[in-house]
Amino acid sequence: MTFLPLSQPLLRDKQEDLDIQDLQGLLRLNLKLGKFNLWSGFYTRIDQVFILWSLICAGIFITAQFLPVSWYIQAIWWSVLTLIGSVSMIILTWFWVSVEKLRWLLYGWIILMIAGVTLTDLGIFYGWSTVLINLCPLWLTISALGYLLTAWSVRSRTFLLMAIIHFTSIVILPFCGGWQFCATGIVMAISLLVLAEWQWDMRQPIEDYDILTPEQKLFNQQQYERRLVAK
């Protein structure tokens, strides 16, 4: 197996023939206004995590950019939101990462989030100027490192591209002047929404799903074969 699945497109329409771990907690939306279809789509629990974090990122950086709120209060808000996001991420993704044998990836993201919040809070409450003037690069770096971990674990060029975009954004930030928080929020939130809306490339299914029953393993094999036929 090659490190990256070069035969798969970076992004494509979502596949319909989902595995057991993707079907659990699947959310389907079909919003209509009379006869008009406003929005239609389905979201796995992984997609739901992306959407949740996009909303958290947008809320944090929009508040920092536009609202006259004390940095101390913002630090408390950011910590609470990050805690909520982290706990929700554990709950939503636990079955998926367990089936895919990727619990270490979830732990990695949690460690990155805790480290980022801790450093941010210390910078604000102790007035560490180096941290305060680099909050945007700090969080772009944290996100990029998380995407690199994800790219390695699921063998994805899409997540590798997301990491490159975030690292590149750090270089571009000085040209944004006083709009760095807004620019950072846009990059982080839109990246997450893109991942939630489209199917990204990923390694082939693993051979042994330890926690699945024989019936569930057979179901996953049949779904994989259907996806191959549908290509």
Joined tokens for residue 134: 């680099």
Separation of alpha carbons 58 and 66, rounded Å: 12
Residues facing 145 on adjacent strands: none
39-57 pLDDT per residue, tens: 778 999 999 999 999 999 9
More confident residue, 3 or 187: 187
91-128 pLDDT per residue, tens: 999 999 999 999 999 999 999 999 999 999 999 999 99
Q: Please give the helix or strand (H or E) that residue 36 lies within, else none.
A: strand 36-43
Residue among 44, 46, 48, 120 nearest 82 (CA): 120
Residue 155 scores a pLDDT above 50: yes
Taking phi over 0 as left and psi of -120 to 50 as alpha, with beta for the rest, 155 belongs to: left
Separation of alpha carbons 100 and 81, rounded Å: 27
179-221 pLDDT per residue, tens: 999 999 999 999 999 999 999 999 888 877 889 999 999 998 9
What totals of helices (H) and strands (E) does the chain contain, helices first?
A: 9, 4
Residue 88 scores a pLDDT above 60: yes
Domain chopping of the chain, boundaries: 43-200
Q: What is the pLDDT of residue 85?
A: 95
Residue among 190, 180, 18, 28 nearest 99 (CA): 18
Q: What is the pLDDT of residue 2?
A: 52
Q: What is the pLDDT of residue 3?
A: 60
Separation of alpha carbons 36 and 209, rounded Å: 42
Q: What is the pLDDT of residue 18?
A: 92
Q: What is the pLDDT of residue 228?
A: 82
Separation of alpha carbons 44 and 18, rounded Å: 9
DSSP secondary structure letters along 49-117: HHHHHHHHHHHHHHHHHH----HHHHHHHHHHHHHHHHHHHHHHHHHHHHHTT-HHHHHHHHHHHHHHH
Residue 37 banded pLDDT, cuts 50, 70, 90:
confident
Q: What is the pLDDT of residue 30?
A: 82
Reduced to 3 states, what is the DSSP secondary structure of residue 146?
Answer: helix
Residue 145 scores a pLDDT above 70: yes
